[in-house]
């Protein structure tokens, strides 16, 4: 990138007011504060309310303002937070959680099991982001004991307990998200919507006192964040691979590993129209075509071309997770991919595009409008598949139509979360969607469904991992290369940040999908050197 372009970005940011120029002082070692940028989309549209997405959704993160019953560690194991212990009944239908005694909300009122029960029942009834259909009722047994009565066994419940912030029943109303009260590490002191939010350390926090006493989050696009870093206005600025080679005086580049993956759905059924919607695809309904596509993708080349090397090859939606089955790994092999196509009867025509029984090997690959990375991945995929004899047309679309069109066409998706439910949501068939197929792209496998159902019914979280792995591949069937391969996974995108010299960002747990709040999960442990 040229100096002229960078200067232009900086000037534009200043003129449009996107650079933060308010009263907040620049962070430094003396005042134990930090200023962090996040994408504008990270600002919670419904406020800082756990029932409406704060701490949840696809951008899973620790809610900071509120306490959670448990939290995930850097290796994604579960440790207690507000909870002191928890257990599950033999039938999997009752979870019992003991919580700390003497914890107070920031308004001075005590936090009891009644608040925990209220929070979860409210999420069950009103959550617009997370699925709580498995929860029948949360009940406070006494001040420090809560029971979760389940409609069905749900072994991965601890992952839900790790993201739901506890709210005070006495101070909760429709405006809570704009003036949140919690018991977490920080208090929200100021929120200027569309600009910034300021957190200050909670002096009455029951845990270790935060090293960083003040956290200012600025919401801005990548160009403005870059300009803010160049102006020395921020301590941590989110950025993209396109800017990774920039040398900004006083800053270093931090690369964080993720399970923030990009992948492509391949509809697995013959085309059919139901209620005006087309389900299935005449090309990708052939399992050998799907296997050939998976073999024909040179992921390392793609990561170099599109991400400047800041990413890792993806082979599943859960790479590096405790429930990941490494049978998903597939080595690039264009020769073998071509052989698969030939053996399946897809022969190359005069124009180099394959054909079978009058069906031309054509595929529409959609990407979301305005997402330059997904567009670049789509175009790189198209170029690579041309060598296989598949004619791929890329098309930018809006999400208002993308979900429906993905029932018959391929789409570049973003997934990745700290929960095995990501597998369930993508691959498990639905009985109530009219076609008996998975939600996002036509696919169904009874054996895969069975393993996932059995995993949810496991006695412990750890026992469920092997069943999630079998759902991916059990030696005979599954969703990997030797199985049905209904999705092709391309890469996990590293999350990149320009970090001011002297600021020590604590070790990060692997980031999920969403380049936002995850970076400050442990901001209380950061320090200035």
Residue 51 is assigned to a structural domain of this protein: no
Domain that holds residue 521: 1-43+194-258+495-529
In this prediction, residue 287 carries a pLDDT of 98
Give SS3 for 529.
coil
Residue 29 pLDDT greater than 50, yes or no: no
- Pair (479, 351) in one structural domain: yes
245/513 Cα distance (integer angstroms) = 23
- Pair (383, 468) in one structural domain: yes
The residues facing 411 across adjacent strands are 366
Residue 500 is assigned to a structural domain of this protein: yes
- Pair (161, 39) in one structural domain: no
Residue 24 pLDDT greater than 60, yes or no: no
The CATH number of the domain holding residue 387 is: 3.10.105.10
Residue 392 pLDDT greater than 70, yes or no: yes
Last residue of a domain, one of 155, 176, 192: 192
Residue 50 is assigned to a structural domain of this protein: no
In this prediction, residue 30 carries a pLDDT of 53
Q: What is the pLDDT of residues 341-357, one digit of tens each?
A: 999 999 999 999 999 99
Which residue from 473, 476, 526 is spatially nearest to 504, judged by alpha carbons? 526
Tokens of 355: 């054909």
For residue 252, CA distances in Å to 226, 259, 498, 508 come to 13, 23, 6, 16
Residue 279 is assigned to a structural domain of this protein: yes
101: confidence class by pLDDT, cuts 50, 70, 90: very high
Angle value at C-alpha 112, between 110 and 116, nearest 5 degrees: 125
- What DSSP string describes 212-237? --EEEEEE--HHHHHHHHHTT--SEE
63/186 Cα distance (integer angstroms) = 9
In this prediction, residue 241 carries a pLDDT of 94
Residue 48 is assigned to a structural domain of this protein: no
In this prediction, residue 58 carries a pLDDT of 56
The residues facing 364 across adjacent strands are 393
- Pair (481, 502) in one structural domain: no
- Pair (66, 169) in one structural domain: yes
- Pair (153, 91) in one structural domain: yes
Residue 125 buriedness (CB in 10 A; 0-12 / 13-18 / 19+): exposed
Q: What secondary structure letter does DSSP report for 448?
A: H
- Pair (288, 327) in one structural domain: yes
Residue 52 is assigned to a structural domain of this protein: no
- Pair (211, 266) in one structural domain: no
- Pair (155, 282) in one structural domain: no
Give SS3 for 386.
helix
Residue 433 pLDDT greater than 80, yes or no: no
Residue 483 pLDDT greater than 80, yes or no: yes
Residue 53 is assigned to a structural domain of this protein: no
Contacts of 102 (CB under 8 A, 6+ apart): 110, 206
Q: What is the pLDDT of residues 61-79, one digit of tens each?
A: 999 999 999 999 988 899 9
In this prediction, residue 21 carries a pLDDT of 40
- Pair (168, 219) in one structural domain: no
Residue 337 pLDDT greater than 80, yes or no: yes
In this prediction, residue 132 carries a pLDDT of 93
Q: What is the pLDDT of residues 203-236, one digit of tens each?
A: 999 999 999 999 999 999 999 999 999 999 999 9
Last residue of a domain, one of 142, 165, 192: 192
The residues facing 498 across adjacent strands are 237, 253
Radius of gyration of the chain (CA): 24
Tokens of 386: 């041309």
- Arithmetic mean of pLDDT, 497-520: 95
Query: For the chain, how many structural domains are there in total?
Result: 3
Return the beta strands (E) in 341-386 as ranges: 347-348, 354-356, 359-360, 362-368
Contacts of 158 (CB under 8 A, 6+ apart): 70, 78, 86, 461
Last residue of a domain, one of 147, 169, 192: 192
Pairing assessment for the beta strands 311-313 and 277-279 based on DSSP bridges = unpaired
Tokens of 497: 């940040």
In this prediction, residue 10 carries a pLDDT of 45
- Pair (210, 70) in one structural domain: no
In this prediction, residue 289 carries a pLDDT of 98
- Arithmetic mean of pLDDT, 397-415: 97
In this prediction, residue 432 carries a pLDDT of 77
In this prediction, residue 131 carries a pLDDT of 86
Contacts of 390 (CB under 8 A, 6+ apart): 283, 289, 293, 353, 354, 361, 362, 363
127: confidence class by pLDDT, cuts 50, 70, 90: confident
In this prediction, residue 9 carries a pLDDT of 46
- Pair (312, 458) in one structural domain: yes
Residue 483 buriedness (CB in 10 A; 0-12 / 13-18 / 19+): buried
Residue 78 is assigned to a structural domain of this protein: yes
Q: What's the residue count for the chain?
A: 529
Return the beta strands (E) in 325-388 as ranges: 347-348, 354-356, 359-360, 362-368
- What DSSP string describes 470-528? HHHB-SS-BSSTTTT--EEEEEEEPEEEEEETTEEPPPPPPB-SSSSGGGGTTGGG-EE
Which residue from 381, 378, 483 is spatially nearest to 427, judged by alpha carbons? 483
Residue 22 pLDDT greater than 90, yes or no: no
The residues facing 258 across adjacent strands are 511
The CATH number of the domain holding residue 181 is: 3.40.190.10
Tokens of 303: 């990561």
- Arithmetic mean of pLDDT, 442-461: 96
Q: What is the pLDDT of residues 146-161, one digit of tens each?
A: 999 999 999 999 999 9
529: confidence class by pLDDT, cuts 50, 70, 90: very high
Tokens of 521: 């999960």
Residue 2 pLDDT greater than 50, yes or no: no
């Amino acid at each position: 990138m040229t100096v002229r372009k960078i200067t232009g970005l900086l000037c534009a940011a200043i003129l449009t007011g996107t650079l933060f120029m308010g009263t907040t002082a620049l962070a430094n070692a003396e005042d134990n504060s930090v200023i962090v940028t996040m994408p504008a989309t990270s600002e919670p549209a419904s406020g800082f309310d756990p029932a409406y997405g704060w701490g949840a959704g696809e951008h899973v993160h620790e809610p900071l303002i509120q306490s959670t019953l448990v939290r995930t560690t850097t290796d994604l194991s579960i440790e207690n937070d507000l909870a002191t212990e928890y257990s599950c009944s033999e039938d999997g239908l009752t979870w019992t959680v003991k919580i700390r005694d003497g914890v107070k909300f920031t308004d001075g009122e005590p936090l009891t099991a009644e608040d925990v029960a209220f929070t979860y029942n409210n999420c069950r009834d009103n959550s617009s982001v997370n699925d709580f259909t498995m929860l029948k009722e949360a009940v406070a047994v006494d001040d420090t004991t809560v029971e979760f009565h389940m409609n069905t066994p749900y072994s991965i419940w601890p992952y839900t307990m790790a993201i739901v912030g506890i709210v005070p029943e006495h101070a909760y109303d429709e405006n809570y998200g704009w003036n949140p009260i919690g018991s977490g590490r920080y208090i929200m002191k100021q929120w200027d919507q569309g600009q910034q939010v300021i957190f200050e350390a909670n002096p009455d926090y029951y845990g270790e006192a935060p090293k960083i006493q003040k956290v200012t989050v600025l919401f801005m696009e990548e160009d403005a964040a870059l300009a803010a870093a160049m102006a020395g206005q921020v301590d941590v600025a989110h950025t993209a691979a396109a800017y990774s080679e920039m040398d900004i005086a006083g800053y270093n580049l931090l690369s964080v590993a993720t399970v923030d993956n990009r992948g492509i759905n391949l509809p697995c059924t013959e085309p059919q129209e139901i209620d005006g919607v087309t389900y299935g695809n005449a090309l990708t309904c052939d399992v050998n075509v799907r296997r050939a596509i998976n073999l024909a993708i040179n992921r390392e080349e793609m990561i170099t071309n599109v991400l400047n090397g800041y990413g890792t090859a993806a082979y599943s939606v859960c790479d590096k997770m405790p429930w990941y089955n490494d049978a998903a790994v597939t080595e690039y092999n264009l020769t073998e991919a071509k052989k698969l196509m030939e053996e399946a009867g897809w022969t190359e025509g005069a124009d180099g595009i394959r054909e079978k029984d009058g069906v031309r090997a054509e595929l529409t690959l959609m990407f979301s409008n305005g997402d330059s990375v997904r567009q670049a991945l789509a175009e790189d995929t198209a170029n690579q598949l041309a060598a296989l004899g598949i004619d791929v047309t890329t098309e930018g679309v809006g999400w208002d139509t993308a979900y429906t069109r993905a029932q018959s066409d391929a789409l570049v998706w973003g997934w990745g979360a700290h929960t095995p439910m990501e597998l369930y949501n993508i691959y498990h068939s639905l009985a109530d969607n009219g076609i008996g197929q998975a939600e996002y792209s036509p696919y169904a496998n009874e054996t895969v469904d069975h393993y996932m159902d059995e995993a949810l019914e496991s006695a412990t979280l750890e026992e469920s991992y092997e069943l999630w792995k079998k759902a991916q591949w059990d030696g005979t069937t599954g969703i990997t290369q030797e199985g049905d391969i209904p999705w092709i996974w391309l890469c996990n995108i590293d999350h990149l940040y320009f970090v001011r010299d002297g600021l020590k960002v604590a070790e990060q747990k692997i980031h999920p999908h969403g380049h936002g709040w995850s970076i400050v999960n442990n901001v209380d442990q950061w320090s200035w050197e």
